[in-house]
Amino acid sequence: MLRPFREYNVPLHPYTKGTNGMAKSNRGKALWKLPSRGRGTCPVCRATRIKLLYTRTLEDGVKAKVCKRCRAGA
């Protein structure tokens, strides 16, 4: 059954809120907004060009983005 165009767009589905189309904020195009598309050198394991997806507080109190291999080792 057809409804006016506006009715199809409101209310927004929870997953479509904002610019990120999906809830998976660590995947896909969401990373492209980040510098280097979310990639860099992990300060813990020194892996280069790896995706730094997690913020971890290092032992000296500095917050750093680490790769998923280093996330659990806190």
Interacting residue ranges for Zn ion, rule: CB under 5 A: 42, 44-45, 67, 69-70
Name the H helices within the chain.
5-9, 68-71
Question: What is the nearest approach in angstroms of Zn ion to the Cβ of residue 37?
Answer: 17
Q: Which distant-in-sequence residues (6+ apart) come within 8 Å of 52 by Cβ?
A: 38, 39, 40, 42, 65, 66, 67
Question: What is the nearest approach in angstroms of Zn ion to the Cβ of residue 52?
Answer: 8
Give whichever of 9 and 48 is closer to Zn ion, judged by the CB atom: 48
Question: What is the nearest approach in angstroms of Zn ion to the Cβ of residue 59?
Answer: 14
